[in-house]
Amino acid sequence: QKEVEQNSGPLSVPEGAIASLNCTYSDRGSQSFFWYRQYSGKSPELIMFIYSNGDKEDGRFTAQLNKASQYVSLLIRDSQPSDSATYLCAVIGGSNYKLTFGKGTLLTVNP
Amino acid sequence: GAVVSQHPSWVICKSGTSVKIECRSLDFQATTMFWYRQFPKQSLMLMATSNEGSKATYEQGVEKDKFLINHASLTLSTLTVTSAHPEDSSFYICSADRGGARAEAFFGQGTRLTVV
């Protein structure tokens, strides 16, 4: 079983819509969860982090964490073409503090 | 946020030569840095964990004699690709964090290596 799983996509949404990105993880003891955005040919940049169950909002972005279901998601409201990128879910494991990345979901926002 | 600087941003080298990539944490001390490789349309693949003052820890399948890592100080780690071959052409990215269970990773700009 892969440690961090994401749907590779591509996920295509129209401009102004809500984009929903999902991630599951296998280590039940995981403590920290991150969403990174990576434009083609560039390094990842941090979008959101979340540690506790529930929702965390930052501007157009909302991260949702459900530790019981081992599930973390990222919602992007009012999607813009500039949001088109690969979104990487990353998890710090409970035992070794190792950051593990999912394979990423390619999001395309169509004007 | 913290800054991690990686140099060079791109390099072209001949097959059989070696290439050194530097990764610096500019405003914090990083006892641990990470080196990733990313092929086109693929995810980040962790190559090795660089530990200041000790040997790097390599992921399974990564040749430690080919990818030499030196972490000489708390702010600098280097990755040397020795005897590079075209199949080593990739995007190499370093990252560093402050450590601990909630440490976010800060990435360097990445190095696009092309071996011809």
* A10-34 pLDDT per residue, tens: 999 999 999 999 999 998 989 899 9
Q: Does A103 touch chain B (CB under 8 A)?
A: yes
Query: Can you give the pLDDT at residue B101?
Result: 66
Q: What is the pLDDT along chain B (116 residues), one digit of tens a residue?
A: 668 999 999 999 999 999 999 999 998 888 789 999 998 878 788 899 988 888 899 999 999 999 999 988 889 999 999 999 999 999 999 998 777 666 778 899 999 999 99
A45 and B108: CB-CB below 8 Å? no
Average pLDDT over residues A94-102: 77
B102 and A34: CB-CB below 8 Å? no
Using the structure block, give the residue that is written with the tokens 């004007």.
A111
Provide the percentage of residues in chain A whose pLDDT is more than 90: 76
Which of A31, A88, A101 is closest, CB to CB, to B102? A31
pLDDT reading at A9 higher than 90: no
Chain A positions in Cβ-Cβ contact with residue B89 (cut-off 8 Å): none
Which of B1, B6, B101 is closest, CB to CB, to A92? B101
Pairing type for strands A32-38 and A45-50 reads antiparallel
Residue A8 DSSP label: -
pLDDT reading at A94 higher than 90: no
Pairing type for strands B45-51 and B32-38 reads antiparallel
In which band, very low, low, confident or very high, does the pLDDT at A70 lie, cut at 50, 70 and 90? Answer: very high
Chain A positions in Cβ-Cβ contact with residue B108 (cut-off 8 Å): 43
Which of A99, A102, A103 is closest, CB to CB, to B105? A99
Using the structure block, give the residue that is written with the tokens 């440690």.
A3
pLDDT tens string A39-64:
988 999 999 999 999 999 999 999 99
Q: Which helix (H) or strand (E) holds B49?
A: strand B45-51
- Compute, in degrees rounded to 10, the torsion defined by CA atoms A28, A30, A31, A36: -130
Chain A positions in Cβ-Cβ contact with residue B107 (cut-off 8 Å): 43-45
A41 and B112: CB-CB below 8 Å? yes
Residues of B with CB under 8 A from a CB of A: 1, 6, 34, 42-44, 46, 91, 93, 95, 97, 99-110, 112
Beta-carbon contacts of B40 under 8 Å, excluding residues fewer than 6 positions away, are: none
Which of A42, A90, A97 is closest, CB to CB, to B110? A42
Chain B positions in Cβ-Cβ contact with residue A102 (cut-off 8 Å): 43
